[in-house]
Chain A
Amino acid sequence: MEPAIEVDGLVRSYSATHGMVRRRRSTVEAVRGVSFQVARGELFGLLGPNGAGKTTTIKILTTLLLPTAGTARVCGLDVVADTRAVRTRIGYVFGGDRGLYDRLSGLDNLRYFAELYAVDPRGLRARIDEVLDLVGLGGREGDRVEGYSRGMRQRLHVARGLLHRPEVLFLDEPSIGVDAVAARELRAVVAHLVEDGTTVLLTTHYMFEADQLCDRIAVIARGSIVAEGTPAQLKDQVADDRVVEVQVFGIGEAEVARVRAITGVTSVIVEDHEQAQALIVHCERSLDVSAEVVAALDGVRVGSIATREPTLEDAYISLVTAAEDG
């Protein structure tokens, strides 16, 4: 059976103009040669930081944006040539709280899109109730959307994307700005859809979300895919590492350079937390560099120190920082 999504050498560049008086044009490459395949019934995650090219890729796949080069096929149909046929087979849900008709009720928003997707009018109300139940909005569908919370808006987005029983569902950062409980419920809905055989392509920058849901993940950074595989395979990429995590207060460039220079250290990342910073040091598994790290941090206030196994997040961060440094 052909794959649900085939992306081959996808490139998308934007031209931007700068300056008011002397207009200069420059080209920004948002996606630079992305290729991947998603099998039918698979839940595939596109994981990357903001601006990595996730939304651009998804907009091309959902026919809202034309690629500069390369091809993309959904259900065997070319997204540029067979636009309408692709549109009938896909659902598209984006994050954030815009993109709904605020003045209409949730029900009318769904009704309108049901017409746009030519959903059979005979089973329409039943289908609407079904998707409302699925996303847990039953009972509130008569209220105007302007009174909905962010989480409710997000569910309505999902319901709208499902109305016409799409074969492939695109979820662009669906849990952005949604509280933890709502995000967990959303993940349950997605898991349920995949059980029913829907292919899902999900973009997210939440590691645990990708880890928990996805069959396979592609990590995208600066417009290119830097790694691809199951969550376990990605973790394996850093499995030979040991991670030392040190809580520090006010670390400078010089100290980071000193830590980086320690033999056996493969990468050093500083994460800013609320009051402190976390210094995450990857080193070879056979070595314990904790003592050297503390010595290198001479003069900096140090909090807790822990040595642990690498997580998927460590794998992701080291992949992305490697891509962004390079």
Chain B
Amino acid sequence: MTARAWLRLVIVGGRISYRALFNWTSPLMYIPTLLVSPLLGTLFFAYLGRYAGGRDDTFYVLGNGLLAVAGPCVFGGMMALANERRYQTLGAVLGTPAPRGAILVGRAVPYVGNGLFTAVVVTTLAALMLRVSIRIADVPGLLLAALAAAASCTAFGLALGAIGMRVRDVWVISNTVWVSLWLVSGANVARSALPDWLEVVGGLLPISHGIDAARAIAGGSPAAGLIAREVALGAAWAAIATLLFRTFERSGRRHAALDRG
């Protein structure tokens, strides 16, 4: 396959597969699920924070604003693979000679963009509603942190989706992970305040280093190392996703498990 065909598969194929497999493309679903819900979550935790009296609103706005990438990235990345099961198209896709790497990258790209978009919208609106000010000079850094979080989170979602090619109830995992992230990502509780093992789990899941980076940027500390860590974590999850995909593809051919309803 030529480099051009590879790129087309990523860009054109990725765009079509997004419309085919993402359940929440219509504005009627997209806005409430991916924008309003995390925005309300931010308000909920900010008010909880005010009541508890520990942290200021900025802490919650940045934490939950970045956490907003989880909607499109965890769930979207998952749908991008697991929904093949719903339409029973996995056999048709795997029967093609298309390079699997290009299929995976193509499916990831729209969700990364989506994640960045939701993080920007939710953070901006929450900041306006709670009167939290963000310095213009910090914006590029915050965008970078959000992009890194979106990328690593999508890789994580794809790994879940690869599992979903084989396991029917992968939604159980994703839902639990999603709520767990409220706690372990450090969005609402400083990770250092958590028990050691939860702190470790949080550090292995996406977004937490991105949130640390965002808060460091707003606090005027260097954040490049934290962003790099989020990116490295994303690369690791991408490797896991690819490995799982290939493993399930291979074992599917061996055990006739493809397209089982």
Which residues of chain A have a CB within 8 Å of any CB of chain B?
14, 56, 59, 62-66, 84-85, 87-88, 92, 94, 98-104, 108-109, 111-113, 115-118, 121, 160
Specify the chain A residue showing the minimal Cβ separation from B14.
Answer: A115
Q: Is the CB of B89 within 8 A of A116?
A: no
**Does B13 interact with chain A (Cβ within 8 Å)?**
yes
Q: Which residues of A contact B88 (CB under 8 A)?
A: 98-99
Contact B13 A64 (CB under 8 A): no
Query: Does A112 lie within 8 Å of B256, measured CB to CB?
Result: no
**Complex contacts, A84 vs chain B, CB 8 Å:** 97
The interface residues of chain B lying within 8 Å CB-to-CB of A102 are: 87
| B residues near A64, Cβ cutoff 8 Å | 91, 94-95, 252-253, 258
0/1 string, B227-261, CB within 8 A of A gives 1: 00000000000000000000000001111101100
Q: Is the CB of B96 within 8 A of A117?
A: yes
Task: Name which residue of chain A comes closest to B84, CB basis.
Answer: A101
Contacts of B50 in A (CB 8 A): none
B1 x A108 contact (CB < 8 A): no
Bound-complex Cα distance A98 to B21 (A):
14
Asked if residues B21 and A115 are in contact (CB atoms below 8 Å), the reply is no
Which residues from chain B contact A62 at a C-beta distance below 8 Å?
A: 95
A101 vs B8: C-alpha distance in the bound complex, in angstroms?
Answer: 20
Interface size on B, residues (CB 8 A): 32
Docked Cα-Cα span, A51 to B199, in Å, equals 53
| Contact status B19-A108, CB under 8 Å | yes
Chain B residues within 8 Å of A117, by CB: 96-98
Is the pair A111, B87 in contact by a Cβ cutoff of 8 Å?
Answer: no
Query: A53 to chain B: closest CB distance in Å?
Result: 12
- Per a CB cutoff under 8 Å, which of B9, B20, B91, B255 touches A116? B9
Q: Which residues of chain B have C-beta atoms less than 8 A from A59's C-beta?
A: 91, 256
Q: Which residues of A contact B254 (CB under 8 A)?
A: 66
Instruction: Please report the C-alpha to C-alpha distance between residue A108 and residue B18 in the assembled complex, in whole angstroms.
Output: 11
Would you give the 0/1 interface string for B166-179, flagging 1 where the beta carbon is closer than 8 Å to chain A? 00000000000000
Kindly state whether residue B129 has any CB partner on chain A within 8 Å: no
Other A-B contacts than A99-B259, A104-B19, A111-B16, 10 sampled, CB-CB below 8 A, are A64-B253, A65-B256, A87-B97, A92-B95, A98-B89, A100-B87, A104-B20, A109-B20, A115-B16, A118-B5
- In angstroms, Cα B16 to Cα A111, docked, is 8
**Is B190 part of the contact surface with A, judged by Cβ < 8 Å?**
no
* Residue of B with least CB distance to A89: B97
A64 to B96 alpha-carbon distance, docked (Å): 10
- Contact: A63 with B92, CB < 8 Å? no
Name the residue among B9, B21, B94, B96 with the largest chain A CB count within 10 angstroms: B96
Q: Residue of B at shortest CB range from A84?
A: B97
Partner of B103, one of A94, A104, A108, A116: A116
Instruction: Please determine whether A99 and B87 come into contact, CB atoms closer than 8 angstroms.
Output: yes
Chain B CB within 10 A, most for which of A62, A66, A121? A66
Q: Does B130 contact A (CB under 8 A)?
A: no
8 A-B pairs with CB atoms under 8 Å apart are A59-B91, A62-B95, A66-B253, A84-B97, A103-B20, A112-B17, A116-B9, A118-B98
Of B12, B16, B253, the contact of A63 (CB 8 Å cutoff):
B253
Flag if A94 contacts B13 (CB, 8 Å). no
Which residue in chain B gives the minimum CB-CB distance to A55?
Answer: B256
Q: Which of B68-89 contact A (CB under 8 A)?
A: 87-89
Which residues of chain B (118-163) have a CB below 8 Å from chain A?
Answer: none
A59 to B254: give the CA distance in the assembly, Å: 11
Contact of B16 among A66, A85, A99, A112 (CB under 8 A): A112
Q: Contacts A99-B91, A116-B103: A87 and B96 contacting too (C-beta < 8 A)? A: yes
Closest 7 CB pairs of A and B: A101-B20, A87-B97, A98-B88, A115-B13, A116-B96, A116-B98, A118-B5
Q: How far is the CB of A3 from chain B (nearest CB, A)?
A: 21
Nearest CB to that of A93 among chain B residues? B92
Q: Is B201 part of the contact surface with A, judged by Cβ < 8 Å?
A: no
B99: min CB distance to chain A, Å: 9
Q: Identify the closest chain A residue to B22 (Cβ).
A: A103
Residues of chain B contacted by A101 (CB below 8 angstroms): 20-21, 87, 89
B194 close to A (CB within 8 Å): no
How many Å lie between the Cα of A121 and that of B87 in the bound state?
26
- Which residues of the other chain, B, contact A118 by a CB distance below 8 angstroms? 1-2, 5, 9, 97-98
CB distance from A32 to the nearest CB of B (A): 16
Please name all residues of chain A whose beta carbon is closer than 8 Å to the beta carbon of B224 when the two chains form the complex.
none
Q: Which of A56, A63, A98, A112 contacts B95 (CB 8 A)?
A: A63
Query: Chain B residues near A113 (CB, 8 Å)?
Result: 92, 96
Nearest CB in chain B to that of A120: its residue: B5
A115 to B2, CA, bound (A): 12
Question: In the complex the two chains form, is B87's CB within 8 Å of A116's CB?
Answer: no
Complex-state Cα separation, A115 to B11, whole angstroms: 10
For residue B96, which residues in chain A have a CB less than 8 angstroms away from its CB?
87, 113, 116-117
Decide if B93 is an interface residue (CB 8 Å cutoff).
yes
Q: B19 to chain A: which residues have CB within 8 Å? A: 103-104, 108
Instruction: State A100–B12 Cα separation when bound (angstroms).
Output: 18
CA distance A14 to B96 in the complex (A): 24
**Least distance between A29 CB and chain B CB atoms (Å):** 13
The answer for the CA separation of A160 and B89 in the assembled complex, in Å, is 12
User: How far apart are A65's CB and chain B's nearest CB, in angstroms?
Assistant: 6
The distance from the CB of B46 to the nearest CB of chain A, in whole angstroms, is 36
Taking a contact as CB atoms under 8 Å apart, the answer to whether A160 and B92 are in contact is: yes
Which A-chain residue is minimally distant from B89 (CB atoms)?
A99
